[in-house]
Structure 1
Amino acid sequence: MKTIAIIPARGGSKRLPNKNKLLLGGIPLIAHSIVYAQENSDIINEIYVSTDDEDIKKIALHYGVKVIDRPEELAGDFEPTVSALRHVLQSIEGTIENVILLQPTNPLREANLLEQAFNKFQTQNYDSLFTVTRNHQKLGKIENNQFIPFNYTIGQRSQDLEPLYYENGLLYISKVNLILENIIISKQAFPFEVKRNFACVDIDSQADLDYAEYLYNKGSQTHTAFGMEQSS
């Protein structure tokens, strides 16, 4: 029974063109997720990149991982990620038990994050797990030109807010049967909390990429590992 990693990487991107191929720390963005998976070979048996882009395919092959050519109909702006995962599973042979989804737009993962999360996933026998981070902002909505607080009352201190969490996208682990049913996160999924500041990085704009570069360089200087060896 195998555990595989799938890295979905479309060529198209509206807000930040070619973002999966842009450099972060001197290597293509998608390469960070590939290297991270390779460094967790005690957990991950095989690594697949799903893409519709020839340049991304060349990058993936250069790093020695397998590529599944994604059909055009599964590479649109509104196509859910799970359809790419399902296509990979339907394109390969062998008995697979678990799928680890690594999104290339969330490249800054602590070196031991997957080990800790996968151990929780296995020992507690969850069918899925995803990473979350606590939100510390005062949120609300605007209706009829009025601001209506959502998670606080006006004047309340931020440290007294009710804990709310957001899905940070760093990693997902799911049983294969869920993916085949078009589900990544089940109702019983375990929310694995990540408290580090890099958890908020989700690259969708140049500002996001610049911030990721800042954190990456800061991590290099302080010897904080982001899934690959940092220079001394």
Structure 2
Amino acid sequence: MKTIVIIPARGGSKRLPNKNILSLGGMPLIAHSILYAQNNSAIIDEIYISTDDAAIKRIAREYGAKVIDRPESLSGDLEPTVSSLKHVLESIGKEVENVILLQATNPLRPQNLLNEAFEVYQGGNCDSLFTVSRNYQKLGKIEGNKFHPFNYNIGQRSQDLEPLFFENGLLYISTASLILQEIIISENAFPFEVNSIFANVDIDTEEDLEYAEYLIKKGLARLRST
């Protein structure tokens, strides 16, 4: 039974045009996730890029990934990610057991993350897994020009906050059968905690790209090669 990686990467991006092929650390953004998958070949059998963009297709093939042409009907701004994952499974016509979702916009990941997460996924009583990180901010809502604390009391120390976590987007693992039901994170999904500076790297703006470039130049992110 196969375990495959799917990297969705459509061409349209309004806040940061052509972001999936912009240069980061001397290579296209999408290449980071492809190379990460290739460096985990003991787990991953095949790597697929789902895209509607000719430039992304060319780069994906140059870096050794397989390309699935995403139809226009699944390439809109409001189309959920799981639609493209399901389309890949239906298109390749192969028996697949597990799907690993790597988002091109999360290019920097801890080196051993996939190995550690996949071991938990296989050994646990779960049909999906996703990565989370702890939030240390004091959050609240503004209603009627007044601030209402959500996760703390005014004057409370940050270190005494009740633990809250956010979905960081670094990694998702799911059974293929769940994806075909258009589900990525099931009710019994395992929340795999990641304590890494990379959990805050999600490329949506020019500032995000500059921050990721800064981490690379500082040597905090190790670039991978084929």
TM-score, reference length from structure 1: 0.95
Question: Alpha-carbon deviation of 1:225?
Answer: 3.3
Where structure 1 has 5 or more consecutive residues not aligned to the other structure, the ranges are none
Give the structure 2 partner of residue 206 of structure 1: 206
Q: How does 1:27-66 map to 2 (within 5 A)?
A: 27-66=27-66
Give the structure 1 partner of residue 3 of structure 2: 3
CA contact (8 A) 1:133 1:166 kept: yes
CA contact (8 A) 1:130 1:189 kept: yes
What is the letter of the counterpart of residue 107 of structure 2?
P
1:198 and 1:47 map into 2 onto residues whose CA distance is 22
What is the letter of the counterpart of residue 3 of structure 2?
T
Question: Alpha-carbon deviation of 1:218?
Answer: 1.8
Give the structure 1 partner of residue 152 of structure 2: 152
1:219 and 1:38 map into 2 onto residues whose CA distance is 21
1:6 and 1:125 map into 2 onto residues whose CA distance is 23
Where structure 2 has 5 or more consecutive residues not aligned to the other structure, the ranges are none
Q: Deviations over 1:183-219 (max 9, x none)?
A: 0000100000110111111110000000011112223
CA contact (8 A) 1:6 1:99 kept: yes
Give the structure 1 partner of residue 85 of structure 2: 85
Root-mean-square deviation (Å): 1.0
CA contact (8 A) 2:216 2:222 kept: no
1:7 and 1:82 map into 2 onto residues whose CA distance is 11
Give the structure 2 partner of residue 188 of structure 1: 188
Give the structure 1 partner of residue 222 of structure 2: 225
Find runs of 4+ consecutive structure 1 residues off by over 4 angstroms.
Answer: none
Verify: 1:215 aligned to 2:212, yes or no: no
Partner of 1:155: helix, strand, or coil?
coil
Q: Deviations over 1:11-70 (max 9, x none)?
A: 000100000000000000000000000010000000000000000000001011100000
Verify: 1:173 aligned to 2:170, yes or no: no
Q: Deviations over 1:134-187 (max 9, x none)?
A: 000000010011000000010101110000000000010000111001100001
CA contact (8 A) 1:108 1:216 kept: no
Q: How does 1:6-155 map to 2 (within 5 A)?
A: 6-155=6-155
Q: Deviations over 1:103-131 (max 9, x none)?
A: 00001101110000000000114200000
CA contact (8 A) 2:128 2:172 kept: yes
CA contact (8 A) 2:98 2:176 kept: yes
Sequence identity (%) = 70
CA contact (8 A) 1:130 1:172 kept: yes
2:183 and 2:133 map into 1 onto residues whose CA distance is 21
1:32 and 1:7 map into 2 onto residues whose CA distance is 11
1:197 and 1:47 map into 2 onto residues whose CA distance is 26
